[in-house]
């Protein structure tokens, strides 16, 4: 109701009606005030909501930026990790191949070692047999020499007796008996046979001595180089890729080198056409080092 209506009501309703009009006017003012407060409150709330919305949007944008940066970092780390995995896989495959190759090489070296050990055993047996044969031959020569000496003395005695019988000495003028002649003939035959055996044995001994002297007289070429094929730590010997065709001789000492470093010495004990066996010289290998297949050997003659 407007103010004009209130004035109209005042003219129509005197006294009590005026009070009602004032009350209504006050109520109208109060209503307008409430509406104003409501509008103000809604405006403030809108601003607050707008600010909160801006803050949330900014926070979301910052969080998204951080997440994007972290995602990029994680992507790079993932790619690096995948590359490392690929590299490790390649290395593992290579090591597996190397291990397989090493096992095959080890099998081959083991087989060669067993073969060489068998050859060494055979050579040692032959060497022992040769030494025994030489000893027996010397014994036979000594025995045969003694027997020839005894028979020669016996024969000389018989011949002296025969000369006395033929010379017509007082002891007897008769011819030697057939039995004595048979004994003399038998002893002469035996002496001839023993003398032949003795000459043969002496010839064999002389041949052996000549071969040994020839072997000792040989000289290896100074600077001759080769390498070690196998090492037997149990028997303390090595196998060389040098042999008789290279001019290797027994008892020759050779230096062992690894690069430019001297690591020991070996002494040749047996020579084959293409390989040799040599003993490791005692105390020639420095402490903490060991001779390995593939090490080089070189002969350096001692200046006289």
228: tokens are: 């070690």
Residue 296 has pLDDT above 50, yes or no: yes
pLDDT reported for residue 153: 77
pLDDT reported for residue 162: 58
| Cα→Cα distances 19→4, 16, 31, 246, Å | 16, 5, 18, 148
Radius of gyration of the chain (CA): 62
Alpha helices in the chain (DSSP H): 3-12, 16-166, 178-217
pLDDT tier, 232 (very low <50, low <70, confident <90, very high otherwise)? very high
Find all residues with CB under 8 Å of 302, minimum gap 6, and list them.
none
67: tokens are: 């997440």
- Taking the C-alpha atoms of residue 228 and residue 64, their distance in angstroms, rounded to an integer, is 71
Q: What percent of the chain has pLDDT over 70?
A: 71
What single-letter DSSP state applies at residue 170? T
pLDDT tier, 284 (very low <50, low <70, confident <90, very high otherwise)? very high
Residue 255's nearest CA partner among 291, 219, 217 is 291
Residue 249's nearest CA partner among 211, 286, 287 is 211
pLDDT tier, 155 (very low <50, low <70, confident <90, very high otherwise)? low
- Taking the C-alpha atoms of residue 298 and residue 253, their distance in angstroms, rounded to an integer, is 9
Question: Is this prediction's pTM over 0.85?
Answer: no
Q: Look over the chain and give the mean of its residue pLDDT values, rounded to a whole number.
A: 77
The answer to whether residues 198 and 144 touch, using CB atoms and an 8 Å cutoff, is yes
DSSP code string of 258-269: ETTEEEEEEEEE
116-128 pLDDT per residue, tens: 767 667 766 766 7
- Taking the C-alpha atoms of residue 233 and residue 255, their distance in angstroms, rounded to an integer, is 18
Residue 105's nearest CA partner among 232, 248, 294 is 294
Residue 54 has pLDDT above 80, yes or no: yes
Place of tokens 């009350």: 23
pLDDT reported for residue 292: 94
Q: How far is CA 14 from the centre of its chain?
A: 131
Residue 7 has pLDDT above 70, yes or no: no
């Amino acid at each position: 109701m407007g103010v004009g209506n209130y004035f109209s009501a005042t003219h129509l309703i005197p006294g009590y009606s005026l009070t009602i009009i004032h009350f209504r006017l006050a109520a109208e003012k109060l209503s307008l005030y409430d509406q104003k407060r409501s509008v103000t409150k809604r405006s403030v709330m809108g601003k607050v909501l707008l600010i909160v919305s801006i803050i949330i949007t900014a926070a979301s944008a910052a969080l998204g930026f951080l997440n994007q940066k972290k995602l990029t970092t994680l992507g790079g780390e993932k790619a690096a990790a995948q590359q490392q995995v690929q590299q490790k896989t390649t290395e593992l495959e290579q090591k597996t191949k190397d291990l397989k190759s090493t096992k095959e090489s080890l099998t081959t070296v083991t087989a060669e070692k067993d073969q060489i050990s068998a050859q060494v055993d055979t050579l040692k047996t032959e060497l022992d047999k040769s030494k025994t044969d030489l000893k027996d031959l010397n014994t036979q020569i000594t025995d045969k020499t003694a027997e020839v000496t005894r028979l020669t003395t016996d024969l000389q005695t018989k011949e002296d007796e025969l000369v006395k019988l033929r010379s017509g000495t007082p002891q007897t003028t008769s011819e030697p008996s057939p039995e004595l002649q048979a004994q003399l003939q038998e002893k002469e035959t035996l002496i001839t046979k023993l003398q032949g055996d003795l000459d043969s044995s002496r010839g064999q001994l002389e041949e052996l001595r000549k071969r040994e002297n020839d072997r000792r007289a040989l000289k290896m070429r100074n600077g001759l180089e080769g390498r070690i094929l196998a090492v037997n730590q149990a028997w303390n010997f090595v196998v060389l890729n040098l042999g008789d065709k290279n001019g290797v001789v027994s008892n020759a000492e050779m230096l062992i080198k690894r690069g430019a470093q001297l690591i020991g010495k070996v002494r040749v004990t047996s020579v084959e056409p293409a390989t040799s066996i040599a003993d490791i010289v005692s105390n020639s290998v420095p402490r903490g080092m060991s001779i390995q297949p593939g090490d080089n050997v070189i002969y350096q003659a001692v200046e006289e």
